[in-house]
Amino acid sequence: MSTAAVPFNTTPWWRPAAIRETAGITATTAGSPIAFYALVAFTVILLLSPQGWFPILKLIRIALLAAGIAMAAHIVERTVHRQPVTPMSAEIGIVLALVSWAVITLPMSVWPGGSMRLLTDQYLKAIAFFWLLGTVVTSSSRMRGLSWALVLCSIPLAVTGVKNYVFGENLLSTGVRGFTRIAGYEGGSGLTGNPNDLALMLNLIIPIAGALAISERGLKRNVALAAMLISIAGVVVTFSRAGFLTLAATFVMFMLVVARRKSPALAFGLLLLGLCAPLAMPAGYADRLSTITDIEADKTGSAQGRWTDVKVASEVIVQSPLVGVGLGNDAIVLNKERGQATWRSVHNAYLQYGVDLGIPGLLLFAWLHVMCFRSARAVEKRIGTDPAMRELSNLAAGIQISLVGFFVAALFHPIAYQFYFFSVAGLAVALKNTYRAENARTRLAPVAA
């Protein structure tokens, strides 16, 4: 008997492999198609920022419009069918606790106004995206569609970066003679507007592209492979050290997944790609990477400054371990502690939570990260070798790799309250809900005579 036939409610919610059925996801209701297409539109706008290319679009606030339509359509559809708007899960519960803690600590913030502004202007939007992903995407076709939207969006992001490097366009000065970096995506997207963020976004999408390349056939497989390869090139030309470490972690995770699934041909292809990669490194890339271990060799001074900030942030956490200094206030406190007004956040998302929201905030965020990974892993294990859910199993592996990639990247990026993590975490919740819904539909389908 296939592992997919195992009932959902045979294990309690706190067990690592538990995939419990949530109220509101049934075999007969897939959810509003309007909400889904609006969600896809918002995702494309978020990544490609067309308003940067066509300023007239700023007048109608297309991102807000798409998100509003998605939310309204979802709420109306759920209300009409008398289903809960938000099916509860462990991940949703942790997010609610995290936001509640951020609100509770507002009065004790170093700058309450700044904390409130960050909460409403950025943090809640990222969490709303997480919620939409987890509640609107409840079928294999929607998981595949959203995954393809991400992968197709990665192509112009990566192509822009490679083009800028090859032709020497849109370069940033580093303060070191002879060393410049590409500026990022020239469409003006806030998510990929600088080289480090561009490398981060591409790294999060590469595993999804890999999952689609394994699942698809013919032209679609070639497109997914091309997107993955051009994205790898895009990461390299950013000269982002965190980008390289994340890419290396992604490669290792891919190899572990391949070993787990006993796919020798794929393993050989990945190994060949890894062996050929050093030959394609651009000039100066090895020198840039050498500063990862030899911090003092970094002539730009960024490595030294970031290491200093890590130590200062750790000291701040020790001084205020319970409530922190307030949401988004780490830069203010670091200015005071280091005696230098750089207005630079600590380049570590976990330390950001620790400084801003204390140890409770840090633990809640870490718990959410772990739960999302375990949910994706549980889905992959439950599916096993069931050919009917092969594509969903591949996406489960891809999402796990993306979550590991984010863990590595978050050690070097000040991205605690932005969309990056909540995009991948939302996919993990969507994956779990999709598995439950698909399994329910399979159980209720009529048996052929």
For the segment 243-267, what is each residue's pLDDT rounded down to a tens digit? 999 999 999 998 888 888 777 777 7
Q: pLDDT per position in the chain (449 positions), as tens? A: 344 433 344 344 334 444 444 434 444 456 899 999 999 999 999 999 898 888 888 889 999 999 999 999 999 999 998 888 887 889 999 999 999 999 999 999 999 999 999 999 999 999 999 999 999 999 999 999 999 999 999 999 999 999 999 998 888 878 787 788 998 886 555 789 889 999 999 999 999 999 999 999 999 999 999 999 999 999 999 999 999 999 999 999 988 888 887 777 777 777 777 777 777 788 889 889 999 988 888 888 888 889 999 999 999 999 999 999 999 999 999 999 888 778 889 999 999 999 999 999 999 999 999 999 999 999 999 998 788 788 999 999 999 999 999 999 999 999 999 999 999 999 999 999 999 988 877 665 554 43
**Dihedral class, residue 172 (left if φ above 0, else alpha if ψ from -120 to 50, else beta):** beta
Strands in 206-351 per DSSP E: none
The phi, psi pair for 174, rounded to 5°, reads -105, -5
* 370 found inside a domain: no
Return d(Cα 338, Cα 311) in angstroms, integer.
10
Tally of structural domains, the chain: 1
* 62 found inside a domain: yes
Taking CA 390 as the corner, what is the angle to CA 262 and CA 25, rounded to the nearest 5 degrees? 140
**Alpha-carbon torsion 66, 32, 202, 420, what sign?**
positive
**Dihedral class, residue 328 (left if φ above 0, else alpha if ψ from -120 to 50, else beta):** left
* 52 found inside a domain: yes
Return d(Cα 79, Cα 96) in angstroms, integer.
22
Place of tokens 């559809």: 77
What the block records as the tokens of 31 is 């959810």
* 75 found inside a domain: yes
Q: Are 235 and 288 in contact (CB under 8 A)?
A: no
Q: Exposure string (b/e) for 19-29, b if CB count within 10 Å is 16 or more? A: bebbebbbeee
105 DSSP 8-state letter? T
Residue 293: exposure state from Cβ atoms within 10 A (0-12, 13-18, ≥19): exposed
Q: Are 373 and 428 in contact (CB under 8 A)?
A: yes
* 73 found inside a domain: yes
What the block records as the tokens of 400 is 């796990």
**Alpha-carbon torsion 162, 168, 173, 179, what sign?**
positive
- Alpha carbon 174 to its chain's center: 27
- Other C-beta atoms lying within 10 Å of the C-beta of residue 13: 13
User: Which stretches within 168-217 are classed as H helix?
Assistant: 195-215
Q: Which whole-number Å values give the CA distances from 1 to 5, 198, 262, 383, 389, in the listed order?
A: 7, 45, 21, 11, 14
Taking CA 366 as the corner, what is the angle to CA 363 and CA 367, rounded to the nearest 5 degrees? 80
Contacts of 274 (CB under 8 A, 6+ apart): 251
Domain of residue 74, residue span: 30-82
What the block records as the tokens of 210 is 């890999």
* 58 found inside a domain: yes
Return d(Cα 174, Cα 182) in angstroms, integer.
10
Q: Exposure string (b/e) for 33-42, b if CB count within 10 Å is 16 or more? A: ebbbbbbbbb
* 314 found inside a domain: no
Strands in 7-144 per DSSP E: none
* 144 found inside a domain: no
Return d(Cα 340, Cα 335) in angstroms, integer.
5
